[in-house]
A and B are shown apart, each in its own frame.
Chain A
Amino acid sequence: MLYRRAGIRHTSYPKERQLWPLPFDRYLVTAVALFLLAAPFLVDRLYLVAYLLPWIIWSMAALGLNLLMGGAGQIHLAYGAVMAIGAYTSVHLVRAGVPFEFALVAAGLMSAAIGMIFGVAALRVKALYLAMSTLAMQYIVDFVISHSPAISGGTQATIQVPPVSFLGIALEGDLPMYYFALAVCVVVTLFMLNVQRTAFGRALAAVREKDYAAEVIGVDTFKYKLLAFWTSSFIGGVVGAVLVVSYLRSVSPDQFHIELSVQIVAMVIVGGLGSVLGSFFGAALILFTPIVLNNLVGALASGLGIAMSADLRAHIPLMLYGAMIVGFLVLEPLGLAKIYDNVRNYFLVWPFRHARR
């Protein structure tokens, strides 16, 4: 009904190859885009600053990692460290007087250069063994940052982000910061949507499915594995810079520890490996479930006057959160994107289930 897919056939290749071949999908994307553009005027400041902004930023990070994990099939447990490199590069460059536009690109390049070194391990080891190797990189980057006063900022280990401007617009106040993050997110999303349709994306898919087989059919796995790490790390570096400039506003080493890396891996997996949409779902679920559950349990406990110990009340959201991750994956191991896809598939030809898709 909504999609009116049954019986519609594309009559030209360009039409078939559109990003969103179905009209309904296009409307949906437009509606979401319009909403995000108008959000500062529609929603309360609380939801803009504390929900939409982090959601956009963490989704970008999940997208960047998804290129590597979903696209090329390489596990990476040091994405937080990659983001830290970008964050510190940009902040130090800006403090040295470099315009933020350049600092942003430099953050990406720096992360990409160092991140590619991480990828070298991937040439030799796989799966969990690779996870362990990247974990080592996380520890090393953490250590170097927090033990170099020149990088971390001495005993206090916190550096304020100086006021910056991007393309002539001063990034001050909620609006410019939100739109800046949104703009970068749109670029990253469009890149991710299209990369799967390029030779690069197809080569990565071949590597993901079986790297020996890819080599047999002439894909240079050496080159593409490194390229995957390079690209993913570049995105990570840019996201790190966006994160500190528009959201955290000060940078300290503990913001980028292993917890952040694990959080982003969780977003990618819960959302759905290789799915652009899934990255957004996953980021929302992992970021906001603890908050919402916490507020919910708090409201229920005080509203209904249920007597329980403070410890129990504080930990119930954590239990529910863990149970939810387990529940989601037991019910649908391919992630939230797959759940969305199932619903969409059902409605594609609804109510004519017998029709061809």
Chain B
Amino acid sequence: MDLWLIGELALTGALVGLMYALVAVGIVLVYKTSGVANFAQGAIAMSGGYATWAIAAFLGLPMWVAIPLALVAMFGFGMLVEHAVLRHMVGQPVIMIIMVTFGIEIFLRGFMPGTFGVAVKRLDLGIPQAPMFLGEMLINRAYLVGGAVSAALILAAIVLFNSRAGIVMRAVSDDQGASWSVGIRVERAIAVAWGLAGATATAAGILWGSVQGIDWSLSLLLMKALAIAILGGLDSIPGVLLAGLIVGVCESLATGVIDPLVGGGTRDIVASVIIVLTLLVRPYGLFGREHIERV
């Protein structure tokens, strides 16, 4: 096992992990403001990919126009989901709300391929495919761009949470009743969180879609995103950044080091085990806030 390979795997893994983290950001945003675990995030990412493709294909627009349009559209879509469905679920048991988002996931899984066709769609961002070497390490340009964009967006989310709008959202996540009483528009804050979740999911859908093509399997990003969100602590955005890096690097190294030993794809397992062990030490994730339970 040479160091170049380890280095290359770690770097690729880190970049891929950032791309997963971008899906997870939406889950955290929604959980942080409204306490809802959003199981539809994978399907929303898929929808974002489809939307971008549809705008580019049907309106004949170039990518740099189609992407912002899709982001705006999906921001609106996120708000619509909140308005049409989740607003009615306020105060219901958490597990029911999870199931509702799961229903949305199933609906979108039917709607998008049903409307636009099941055949895999090509989404070309114009990232050159030729290999780029750094010493003996190959830098995968697609992942380099993807990772960079993801990191930038996640950092932007962190900055947002320190702005005025972010403080409003933080207040809502702290105590909805108290926020209400000081004049914060709680519904709007939650709607914005869903809108942002829709937009970040779209960004992730576009990045992943350019790697694998756009079809329903983009919705499978949910599992990995959920794992990252939970490892980071469900209500922490910096946690997502770190957890994405950890999961990505661990998975990548597991593929390189452990797979040959056991003769099977251990990626998911190694990642899950690391998460479980972390949770046993820190039951609320790396940066999650501990709930103080009162009897």
Contacts and interface: CB of A to CB of B under 8 A. Distances in A.
A319 B111 contact: yes
A192 to B, nearest CB: 19
Query: Which of B95, B98, B226 has the most C-beta atoms of chain A within 10 angstroms of its own C-beta?
Result: B95
Contact of A322 (B103, B117, B227): B103
B160 interface: no
Contacts of A324: 103
Interface residues of A, number: 49
Contacts of A315: 110-111, 113-114, 118
A266 B102 contact: yes
B115 to A, nearest CB: 7
Contacts of B82: none
A321 B109 CA distance: 11
Contact of A329 (B99, B109, B115, B117): B99
A269 interface: yes
A269 B293 contact: no
A331 to B, nearest CB: 9
Given A75-B95, A269-B95, A315-B114, A140 B272 contact: yes
B172 interface: no
Interface in A219-264: 258, 262
Interface string B87-109: 01100111110111011111111
A249 B223 CA distance: 31
Contact of B268 (A139, A320, A329): A139
Contact of B104 (A75, A125, A146, A322): A322
B263 interface: yes
Contact of A129 (B110, B273, B285): B285
* Chain B interface bracket (under 10, 10 to 19, 20 to 34, 35 or more): 35 or more
Interface string B244-285: 000000000000000000111010110011011001100111
A109 B66 CA distance: 57
B197 interface: no
Contact of B99 (A216, A270, A309, A319): A270
B108 A322 contact: yes
A321 B268 CA distance: 29
B156 to A, nearest CB: 26
**Chain B interface secondary structure, helix, strand, loop or mixed?**
helix
Contact of A318 (B106, B262, B293, B295): B106
A136 interface: yes
Interface in B153-193: none
Query: Which of B88, B102, B223 has the most C-beta atoms of chain A within 10 angstroms of its own C-beta?
Result: B102
Interface string A121-145: 1001111110011011001100100
A153 interface: no
A24 B68 CA distance: 62
B95 A129 contact: no
Contacts of B115: 312
B234 interface: yes
Contacts of A309: 117
**Chain A interface secondary structure, helix, strand, loop or mixed?**
helix
Nearest to A134: B276
B100 A330 contact: yes
A329 B279 contact: no
A128 B114 contact: no
Interface string A310-343: 0110111111111111100110011100000000
A322 B100 contact: no
Contacts of A333: 89, 92-93, 96
A132 B227 contact: yes
B18 interface: no
B37 interface: yes
Contacts of B269: 136, 139-140, 143
A133 to B, nearest CB: 5
A177 interface: no
A273 interface: yes
A323 B279 contact: no
Interface of A: 69, 75, 121, 124-129, 132-133, 135-136, 139-140, 143, 146-147, 210, 212-213, 216, 258, 262, 266, 269-270, 273, 309, 311-312, 314-326, 329-330, 333-335
Given A212-B295, A273-B93, 10 more contacts: A132-B227, A143-B264, A266-B99, A269-B98, A311-B117, A315-B111, A321-B107, A322-B110, A330-B85, A333-B89
